[in-house]
Chains A and B, each alone.
Chain A
Amino acid sequence: MAVDLSMPVLVVDDYKTMIRIIRNLLKQLGFTNVDDAADGTEALAKMRGKRYGLVISDWNMEPMTGYELLKEVRSDEGLKPTPFIMITAESKTENVIAAKKAGVNNYIVKPFNAATLKTKITAVIGDF
C-alpha cells in the first residue's frame, strides 16, 4: 500500500533552522502536512491531540529530550505504534543502543542529506 503523503508528520527540534531544513526536505519528498515542536513536552502534547503518521525528532532538547519523548511515546498505549525516527548529532554508540532499546524505528546522524532522509523514511513507513 502506498504511503499517504498527506499524513501528518511531526518534526521536533529546538533549532528553528533545522526544522526549516527538514520541513523543506519533506516538502521536496512530497509530504504536505508537516507540524513542528520545539521540544519533547510540546511534541507529546501535540501527539496527544492529533494522530501522527511519523515523528522525526532531535535528541538534545530542553526540557524534554527526544530520548525521553521516545520513551514516553513507547510507554503510552495510544501513541506506541507511531513510527519514530531520531535525527541527531549524538553519534556515540551508546546513544544508538539506548535509542534502539527504547524502540526507535530509525536513527539518522547529523549532518545528513536528503537521500539518507528518504532512505530512512522509506525503511520505516514504506515506499512513496
Chain B
Amino acid sequence: MSVPEKSVDSRLDEVAGHIRDMKTDSLSLPDILNLAEIMVGSMQGFFGHVDTAIYKELTDISDFIDTTRTEIGRLQPGNLKDKHIPEAGLELEAIVQSTETATNTIMEQAELIMSADPDDMPAYHDTVQGAVMEIFEACSFQDITGQRISKVVSTLVHIETKISTLAEALGSALSETIEDEEETAEEKRKRELILNGPALEGQGIDQSDVDDILSDGASQDDIDALFD
C-alpha cells in the first residue's frame, strides 16, 4: 500500500528530527522500524507509480500489436500475393502481347500496301482492300485491352484501399519508424543514366521545347530557366 508523498516527506522529517534530538550513536529498534516503515511506504509509492506506467505502456503495445495483426489479417496478404497481383501481372502481359500482335499485323498489312504494284490496278485494289480490312480487325485489340486495363486498375485500387486502412490503423507509428531506404543498384543506374521513362501527359516537354533547347539561339541562361 502506498503512502501519500506529502505524508512520507513529513514523516521522514519527523523521524530525522527525532534521531537528531536523541544525540546518540545508537538507535532504538522502534526508531529503526519506524524509519523502515516510512521508507518502505515511500518505495511502495514509487514502485506503484512505475508499475502503473509500465502496465499502461505494455497495454498500449499489446493493443497496437492486436490492431496491427487484425489489419494485416484484413489485408489478406496471401490473397494479394497469390491471386490479385499475379492476375494483374497476367493481364499486363496479355496487354503487351495483344498490342504487339496487333501492331505487327497492322505493319505487315501496311508493308503489303507499300510493296503492291499500282500499275496492276485490279490486283492493287484487291491488295489494298484486303489489307485495310485486316487493319480494321487488328484494331479491335483496343476494346479487350481497355477491359484488361480496367481489371488491373481495380486491383491497384483494391491494394491501395487495403494499404490505406493499414496505414490509418498504424497512425503516426509508421512515419516515426520508417527511415530513408538505401538506393538500389537499379535506382542508381536510372539516376546516373537519366532514365526517367515516358512522361505523363503535361509532365514532360514536347518537340517544340526540345527544338528550343537545341536551337543555336538558346543560351545557357535560357536552358537554366527551364529548370526554374
Interface residues of A (CB under 8 A from B): 17, 20-21, 24, 27-28, 59-60, 65, 67-68, 89-98, 100, 104, 106-110, 112, 116
Complex CA–CA separation, A106 to B213 (angstroms): 10
Q: Are A109 and B210 in contact (CB under 8 A)?
A: yes
Q: Is B22 positioned at the interface, with any CB of A under 8 Å from its CB? A: no
The B90-108 residues at the A interface (CB cut-off 8 A) are 100, 103-104, 107
Which residues of A are found within 8 Å of B173, using beta-carbon distances?
A: none
Report the contact-size class of chain B (Cβ under 8 Å from the partner): 20 to 34
Task: State whether A109 touches B207 (Cβ < 8 A).
Answer: yes
Report whether A67 and B213 are in contact in the complex, using a CB–CB cutoff of 8 Å. Answer: no
Picked from A24, A90, A91, A94, the residue with its CB within 8 Å of the CB of B107 is A24
* Residue contact B205 to A93, C-beta cutoff 8 Å: yes
B194 and A24 contact, CB distance less than 8 A: no
Say whether B196 faces chain A, with CB atoms less than 8 Å apart: yes
> Which residues of the partner chain B approach A107 to less than 8 Å between Cβ atoms?
210, 213-214
8 contacts across the A-B interface (CB closer than 8 A): A91-B198, A91-B206, A92-B199, A94-B227, A95-B194, A97-B226, A98-B194, A112-B207
Bound together, the chains give a CA A89 to CA B201 distance in angstroms of 12
Would you give the shortest CB distance from B23 to chain A, in whole angstroms?
A: 88
B197 close to chain A: CB less than 8 A: yes
Q: Which chain A residues border B207 with CB–CB below 8 Å? A: 108-109, 112, 116
Identity of the chain B residue whose Cβ is nearest the Cβ of A91 in the assembled complex: B204
Chain B residue at minimal CB-CB distance from A95? B194
Closest to B190 in A: A60
Q: What is the total of A-B residue contacts with beta carbons within 8 Å?
A: 76
Please report whether the interface of chain B is mostly helix, strand, loop or mixed according to DSSP.
helix
Across-interface contacts of A97 in B (CB, < 8 A):
213, 223, 226
Closest to B206 in A: A109
Complex Cα distance, B211 from A116, in Å, reads: 11
Cα(A119)–Cα(B33), bound, Å: 105
- When chains A and B are docked, how far (Å) is the Cα of A89 from the Cα of B204? 9
Give the CA-CA distance A104 to B197 in the complex, in Å.
19
Minimum-distance CB pairs A-B, first 3: A91-B204, A89-B198, A93-B226
Taking the nearest CB of chain A, how far is it from the CB of B221, in angstroms? 13
Q: Which residues of A have CB within 8 Å of B103?
A: 17
Contact A90 B213 (CB under 8 A): no
Interface residues of B in 169-228 (CB under 8 A from A): 193-199, 204-207, 209-210, 213-214, 223, 226-227
Contacts of B132 in A (CB 8 A): none
CB distance from B1 to the nearest CB of A (A): 72
Evaluate contact between A92 and B214: CB separation under 8 angstroms. Answer: no
Please give the distance in Å from A43's CB to the nearest CB on chain B.
Answer: 16
B197, B204, B210 pick with most chain A CB within 10 angstroms: B210
* Cα A29 to Cα B114 with chains together (Å): 13
**B60 located at the interface, meaning its Cβ lies under 8 Å from any Cβ of chain A in the complex:** no
CA separation between A59 and B193, bound complex, in Å?
9
Complex Cα spacing A98 to B199, Å? 17
Whether, in the assembled complex, B128 has its beta carbon less than 8 Å from a beta carbon of chain A, the answer is: no
Q: For B205, list chain A residues within 8 Å (CB).
A: 91-93, 96, 109
Name the contact of A60 in the complex, choosing from B104, B195, B206 (C-beta under 8 A).
B195
Cβ-defined partner of B194 (8 Å) among A17, A94, A100, A106: A94
